[in-house]
C-alpha cells in the first residue's frame, strides 16, 4: 500500500523540484555560450518532445562533459514526469523563466537560486534553516579572511590551495560563495601588488576541487551550492567538489554533520531494505557513495541550525516524530560521552560550534552567524567558554536597525556576526582588542557591506577604557554605525558579552562600561562621580521561575493565603507600587508529564520586590515593582531582601534604583535579546547583576530615597521610549543623584530614549 504524501509536503516537493529544473536550465543556457556541444534552451524547446529532449541532452552532458551536481538531480526529476499537456506547458514556462534570468547575468553572481530556495523551503521552521543574507555573508568573510591578518601569501596559488575552508551546515552555499569571493579579491590584490598576471581559472579550479568543503542534510541545498560555485566559471571542467549530502535519521540514527563528533570520517551504512543511507559526494563525474573525511580547518564558517530543545523540542524537526525522539536521545548520549562543551538547550548551534572547534587548526579562525543570545544567554555559556579559553574574538557585529535585527533570511530573531582566531598554546599571541561594530543600518547591498568592511580594515576603532568617541562608519553620506574596541582580557573575564553590543550609541556603551566599574561617565565631562555597586545576590534572593509556579499552583481571583502578581500589561502596570492582582491555589496532583512542586517549597521564596522576567521595551515602563504583600508571579522574578535589609526602607531604595536611568542601563547591559525590543532576564544573570550597594547608603541618603519613593510610587511612569520627557523618571534620577552626590543625568535619559532597541526607531 502506497503512503499518501501530506499536501503540504507534496507542495514543498513540487516547488523545490521546479527550482532544481530551472537551475539546470539556467546552467545549460550558460554552458551553451561556452561549449558548442551544449544546445541552447531555445533549440531544446523546439524539439517535438521537450521532456525527452531535456532528458537526453542532460544525459549527454552528464556522460560526456560532467557537471553531475547540477544535472543529475534535475534529470532524475525529468524522467519521472509524464508527458501530458500541463507538464509540457509548465516545463516551457520554467524554461522561459530560466532564459529571462540568464539575460540578467549579474543576478547569478549573487546566489539568486539560493534566495528563491530559501523562500520555497516549507520546513525551514523545523530544520532552523535560516540562510544568511548575501551582504552580511560578504561582510563576515571579508573580516574573517582579512588580507593583512590571514597568514597566506595571497599571490601564491600554491599556498592558497593549501587552505581548507568548511561549512558544516552550508545550505545553498552563501557563506562558501562569500569565502570564494574574498579569496579571489585577496588574490587579485596581491597579484597586482607583485606585478603578476592572475590565473583566475586556476584559482577557481583550486577553490572548487581543494579549498571549499561543504556539508548539509538536504540534497537539494547541496545541488544549489554546487551550481552556485560552478557558475563562477562555468567554462572550467572539474573532477570533484568537496560537497557532501549527509544522511540524517534512518535505522542507524544518523545526525548529519553531528556525526563528526565520532571522528573525521563518517562511515557508510545501509538501511534494512538495502537502500543507501550514507554521505554522497557531489563530484564532477557523479555522486560517489563514500565515507567523508573532514580536514583540519583553516576557517570554519557557519550559520548553524539553532532550533532550541525547549518549547516543544523541534531538534531534528524534519524527521518523523518517532525518529526525531531517537535522534534527540542519541544526541544527548553523544554529547555526554564526548564531554562536549555544548548545551542542547541552546539548540544545535551550540553543538555545531563545539564540533568545529575540534577541527580548527591553531591560528585558524571560526566565523559565525548566531542568535544574539550566544553573547549573553545562560544556555550558551559552554560556547562562550570555548571561545574564552581557546580563542581571541576579533570582531563582534550586531544590528541595531529596527527594520532588520537579523542577518539571516526568513527570521526576525536578533543575530550577531562573530570572528575568532584560535590560539596556539605553544605560541600564545599578545592580548588584543575585540572590535565591536554596532550597525545603525543593516547593509542591504554588497556595496554597503564592502564599504563597511573597508572602514573597519583601514581605520582603528578607539579603545573604550582609554579612547574617545567611536569609529564612525559611513556609506556615502549615510551613517551605517559605530565601531569601538574592548580589551579581550576584559571580555574574557565577563560571564556575558552583551556589553560591547548592548547599545547602538558608543557614548552610551562608555556610560555602561564605566558604571560596571563604579564610575559615572557623562558625555562631554568624563568621569564625574562614583557609585558603589554590588551583585544583587549580596543582599537579596530571587524566587522560583514560572515553570515552577505552574507546577505547584493554579491561578484565580478568589482569596487564598497565596497572593500573586500576574501579567505585565503596560497599560495596566504603570506605577511602582502595586497590590496583588491574583491568588494561587496549590495543585492537589501533578499535571500530565510534570512533577508536582510543593507549596511549602515555593512560597518561602515569595517577595515584595518584583523584577521583570521579560519585557517589550517599546511599550513597557517599569523594571521593578514593590507589592504591598509578598507574592509569587508568572512574569516577574520575586525578590526578597535578607537579614538587616529585610526592611521597607531598603525595599523602597532598591525599587527606586531599579527604575532609575542607572538601573535600566545596567539591566539592558545584562539582557538576553531575542527579537530586538523583546528581551528577557534569566535568574542566574539577574542574581549577578550590579545594583546599588545598599550597605553604603548613609541615613540621609536612605531618607531621601524613601521620601521620594513615597512621593512617586503611585504616579504613572511613561514608556521607556519616552523617558526623556518623563517627569517621574526625572524625579527618581534627581533623588538618586542627591543621595549619591551626582550631577544631573538628563543627557543619559535622552540617549537611552533614542536607542533603537528601546524606541524601535532608526538613529
pLDDT in tens, 5-18: 667 667 767 777 88
CA angle at residue 472 from 471 to 473, to 5 degrees? 115
Q: Is residue 128 part of a domain?
A: yes
Q: Are 82 and 135 found together in one domain?
A: no
Share of the chain above pLDDT 70, in %: 89
Q: Are 102 and 203 found together in one domain?
A: no
Lowest average pLDDT, out of 140-154, 422-436, 569-583, 681-695, goes to 422-436
Mean pLDDT, residues 93-103 taken together: 85
Pairing of strands 433-439, 391-399: parallel
Mean pLDDT, residues 292-306 taken together: 88
Mean pLDDT, residues 720-730 taken together: 97
pLDDT of residue 337: 85
How many Å apart are CA 318 and CA 130, to the nearest integer?
Answer: 14
pLDDT of residue 380: 94
Q: Are 62 and 130 found together in one domain?
A: no
Q: Are 212 and 297 found together in one domain?
A: yes
Q: Is residue 67 part of a domain?
A: yes
Question: Residue 354 maps to which CATH number?
Answer: 3.40.50.150
How many Å apart are CA 222 and CA 69, to the nearest integer?
Answer: 8
Calculated CA dihedral for residues 129, 134, 139, 145, nearest 10 degrees: 80
Ramachandran region, residue 143 (left: φ > 0; alpha: ψ -120 to 50; beta: rest): alpha
pLDDT of residue 112: 53
Q: Does residue 402 register a pLDDT over 70?
A: yes
How many Å apart are CA 414 and CA 405, to the nearest integer?
Answer: 5
Q: Is residue 518 part of a domain?
A: no
Reported as a single tens digit per residue, the pLDDT across 382-396 is 999 999 999 999 999
| 6 Cβ contact list (under 8 Å, min separation 6) | none
- Which of these three, 88, 108, 128, is where a domain ends? 108
DSSP string covering 626-651: EEEEEEEESSEEEEEE-GGG-SHHHH
Q: Does residue 502 register a pLDDT over 90?
A: yes
Q: Are 192 and 65 found together in one domain?
A: no
pLDDT of residue 646: 94
Reported as a single tens digit per residue, the pLDDT across 362-373 is 999 999 999 999
How many Å apart are CA 105 and CA 112, to the nearest integer?
Answer: 10
pLDDT of residue 100: 84
Q: Is residue 452 part of a domain?
A: yes
Q: Is residue 125 part of a domain?
A: yes
| 372 Cβ contact list (under 8 Å, min separation 6) | 398, 405, 413, 414, 415, 416, 498, 501, 673, 674
Mean pLDDT, residues 389-415 taken together: 93
Whether 186 contacts 145, CB under 8 Å: yes
pLDDT of residue 727: 97
Q: How confident is the model at residue 268 (pLDDT cuts 50, 70, 90)?
A: very low
Q: How confident is the model at residue 686 (pLDDT cuts 50, 70, 90)?
A: very high
Q: Which domain holds residue 184?
A: 116-501
CA distances from 41 to 91, 132, 154, 480, 754 (A): 11, 31, 39, 44, 55
Q: Are 475 and 580 found together in one domain?
A: no
- Which of these three, 80, 108, 136, is where a domain ends? 108
Q: Are 449 and 563 found together in one domain?
A: no
Reported as a single tens digit per residue, the pLDDT across 160-175 is 999 999 999 988 888 9
Instruction: Please count the structural domains in the chain.
Output: 3
Q: How confident is the model at residue 276 (pLDDT cuts 50, 70, 90)?
A: very low
Q: Is residue 732 part of a domain?
A: yes
3-state secondary structure at position 742: coil
Q: Does residue 526 register a pLDDT over 90?
A: yes
Q: Is residue 506 part of a domain?
A: no
How many Å apart are CA 65 and CA 87, to the nearest integer?
Answer: 28
Query: What cell numbers appear for 426 in the block?
Result: 605553544
Query: What cell numbers appear for 486 in the block?
Result: 574592548
Q: Are 267 and 151 found together in one domain?
A: yes
Verdict on whether the full-model pTM lies above 0.95? no
Reported as a single tens digit per residue, the pLDDT across 437-458 is 999 999 998 899 999 999 999 9
Which of 641, 758, 744, 750 shows the shortest CA–CA distance to 691?
A: 641
DSSP string covering 48-60: S-HHHHHHHHHHH
Mean pLDDT, residues 85-101 taken together: 87
Q: Does residue 125 register a pLDDT over 80?
A: no
Q: Are 456 and 497 found together in one domain?
A: yes
Q: Does residue 751 register a pLDDT over 70?
A: yes
pLDDT of residue 1: 39
Q: Does residue 463 register a pLDDT over 60?
A: yes
Mean pLDDT, residues 248-274 taken together: 65
- Which of these three, 58, 73, 108, is where a domain ends? 108
Round the average pLDDT of the chain to a whole number and report it.
87
How many Å apart are CA 149 and CA 134, to the nearest integer?
Answer: 23
Whether 349 contacts 418, CB under 8 Å: no
Q: Are 98 and 128 found together in one domain?
A: no
pLDDT of residue 346: 83
| 287 Cβ contact list (under 8 Å, min separation 6) | 68, 69, 72, 245, 280, 281
pLDDT of residue 534: 96
How many Å apart are CA 179 and CA 28, to the nearest integer?
Answer: 25
Q: What is the CA radius of gyration of the chain?
A: 29
Reported as a single tens digit per residue, the pLDDT across 303-362 is 988 665 444 444 565 566 777 788 888 888 888 888 888 888 888 889 999 999 999 999
Q: How confident is the model at residue 129 (pLDDT cuts 50, 70, 90)?
A: low
Polymer length in residues for the chain: 763
Lowest average pLDDT, out of 213-222, 377-386, 420-429, 443-452, goes to 213-222
Q: Is residue 511 part of a domain?
A: no
Q: Are 465 and 541 found together in one domain?
A: no
Q: Are 616 and 543 found together in one domain?
A: yes
pLDDT of residue 3: 52
pLDDT of residue 127: 44
Share of the chain above pLDDT 90, in %: 60
Q: How confident is the model at residue 108 (pLDDT cuts 50, 70, 90)?
A: low
pLDDT of residue 123: 44
Q: How confident is the model at residue 124 (pLDDT cuts 50, 70, 90)?
A: very low
Q: Name which residue leads in pLDDT, 743 or 333.
A: 743
Amino acid at each position: 500500500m502506497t503512503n499518501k504524501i501530506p499536501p503540504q509536503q507534496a507542495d514543498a516537493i513540487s516547488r523545490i523540484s521546479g527550482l532544481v529544473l530551472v537551475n539546470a536550465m539556467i546552467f545549460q543556457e550558460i554552458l551553451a555560450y561556452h561549449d558548442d556541444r551544449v544546445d541552447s534552451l531555445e533549440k531544446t524547446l523546439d524539439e517535438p518532445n521537450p521532456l525527452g529532449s531535456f532528458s537526453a541532452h542532460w544525459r549527454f552532458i552528464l556522460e560526456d562533459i560532467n557537471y553531475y551536481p547540477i544535472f543529475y538531480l534535475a534529470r532524475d526529476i525529468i524522467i519521472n514526469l509524464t508527458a501530458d499537456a500541463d507538464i509540457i506547458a509548465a516545463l516551457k514556462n520554467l524554461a522561459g523563466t530560466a532564459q529571462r534570468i540568464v539575460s540578467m547575468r549579474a543576478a547569478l553572481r549573487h546566489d539568486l537560486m539560493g534566495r528563491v530556495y530559501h523562500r520555497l523551503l516549507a520546513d525551514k521552521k523545523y530544520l532552523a534553516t535560516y540562510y544568511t543574507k548575501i551582504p552580511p555573508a560578504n561582510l563576515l568573510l571579508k573580516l574573517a579572511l582579512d588580507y593583512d591578518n590571514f597568514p597566506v601569501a595571497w599571490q601564491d596559488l600554491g599556498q592558497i590551495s593549501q587552505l581548507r575552508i568548511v561549512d558544516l551546515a552550508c545550505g545553498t552555499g552563501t557563506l562558501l560563495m562569500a569565502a570564494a569571493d574574498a579569496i579571489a579579491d585577496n588574490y587579485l590584490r596581491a597579484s597586482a601588488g607583485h606585478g603578476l598576471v592572475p590565473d583566475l581559472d586556476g584559482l577557481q579550479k583550486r577553490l572548487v576541487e581543494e579549498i571549499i568543503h561543504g556539508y548539509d542534510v538536504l540534497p537539494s541545498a547541496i545541488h544549489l551550492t554546487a551550481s552556485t560555485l560552478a557558475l563562477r566559471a562555468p567554462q572550467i571542467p572539474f573532477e570533484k567538489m568537496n560537497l557532501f549530502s549527509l544522511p540524517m535519521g534512518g535505522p542507524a540514527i544518523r545526525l548529519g554533520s553531528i556525526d563528526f563528533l565520532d571522528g573525521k570520517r563518517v562511515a557508510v551504512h545501509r538501511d534494512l531494505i538495502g537502500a543507501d543511507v550514507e554521505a554522497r559526494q557531489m563530484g564532477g563525474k557523479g555522486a560517489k557513495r563514500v565515507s567523508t573525511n573532514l580536514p583540519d580547518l583553516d576557517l570554519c564558517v557557519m550559520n548553524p541550525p539553532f532550533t532550541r530543545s525547549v518549547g516543544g523540542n523541534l531538534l531534528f524537526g524534519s524527521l518523523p516524530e518517532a525518529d526525531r525522539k531517537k535522534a534527540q536521545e542519541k544526541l544527548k548520549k553523544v554529547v555526554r560521552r564526548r564531554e562536549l562543551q555544548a548545551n542542547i538547550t541552546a539548540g544545535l548551534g551550540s553543538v555545531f560550534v563545539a564540533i568545529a572547534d575540534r577541527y580548527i587548526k591553531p591560528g585558524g579562525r571560526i566565523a559565525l552567524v548566531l542568535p544574539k543570545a550566544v553573547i549573553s544567554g545562560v544556555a550558551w555559556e559552554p560556547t562562550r567558554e570555548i571561545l574564552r579559553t581557546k580563542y581571541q574574538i576579533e570582531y563582534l557585529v550586531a544590528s541595531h536597525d529596527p527594520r532588520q535585527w537579523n542577518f539571516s533570511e526568513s527570521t526576525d530573531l536578533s543575530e550577531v556576526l562573530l570572528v575568532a582566531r584560535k590560539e596556539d598554546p605553544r605560541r600564545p599571541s599578545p592580548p588584543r582588542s575585540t572590535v565591536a561594530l554596532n550597525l545603525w543600518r543593516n547593509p542591504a547591498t554588497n556595496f554597503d557591506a564592502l564599504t563597511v568592511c573597508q572602514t573597519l580594515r583601514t581605520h582603528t576603532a578607539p579603545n573604550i577604557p582609554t579612547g574617545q568617541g567611536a569609529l564612525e562608519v559611513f556609506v556615502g553620506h549615510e551613517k551605517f554605525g559605530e565601531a569601538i574596541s574592548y580589551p579581550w582580557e576584559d571580555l574574557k573575564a565577563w560571564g556575558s558579552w552583551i556589553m560591547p553590543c548592548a547599545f547602538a550609541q558608543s557614548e552610551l556603551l562608555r556610560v555602561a562600561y564605566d558604571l560596571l566599574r563604579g564610575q559615572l561617565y557623562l558625555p562631554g565631562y568624563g568621569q564625574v562621580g562614583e557609585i558603589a555597586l554590588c551583585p544583587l545576590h549580596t543582599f537579596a534572593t530571587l524566587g522560583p521561575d514560572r515553570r515552577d509556579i505552574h507546577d505547584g499552583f493554579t491561578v484565580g481571583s478568589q482569596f487564598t493565603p497565596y497572593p500573586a502578581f500576574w501579567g505585565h500589561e503596560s497599560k495596566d502596570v504603570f506605577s511602582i507600587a502595586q497590590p496583588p492582582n491574583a491568588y494561587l491555589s496549590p495543585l492537589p496532583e501533578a499535571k500530565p508529564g510534570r512533577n508536582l512542586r510543593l507549596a511549602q517549597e515555593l512560597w518561602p521564596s515569595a517577595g515584595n520586590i518584583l523584577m521583570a522576567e521579560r519585557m517589550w521595551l517599546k511599550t513597557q515602563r517599569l523594571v521593578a515593582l514593590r507589592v504591598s504583600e509578598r507574592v509569587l508571579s508568572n512574569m516577574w522574578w520575586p525578590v526578597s531582601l535578607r537579614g538587616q535589609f529585610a526592611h521597607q526602607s531598603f525595599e523602597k531604595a532598591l525599587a527606586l534604583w531599579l527604575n532609575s536611568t542607572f538601573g535600566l542601563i545596567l539591566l539592558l547591559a545584562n539582557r538576553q535579546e531575542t527579537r530586538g525590543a523583546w528581551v528577557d532576564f534569566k535568574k542566574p544573570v539577574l542574581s549577578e547583576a550590579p545594583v546599588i550597594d545598599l550597605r553604603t547608603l548613609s541615613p540621609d541618603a536612605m531618607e531621601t530615597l524613601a521620601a521620594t519613593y513615597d512621593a512617586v510610587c503611585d504616579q504613572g511612569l511613561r514608556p521607556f521610549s519616552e523617558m526623556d520627557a518623563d517627569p517621574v523618571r526625572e524625579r527618581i534620577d534627581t533623588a538618586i543623584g542627591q543621595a549619591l552626590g551626582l550631577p544631573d543625568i538628563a543627557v543619559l535619559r535622552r540617549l537611552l530614549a533614542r536607542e533603537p532597541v528601546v524606541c524601535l526607531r532608526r538613529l
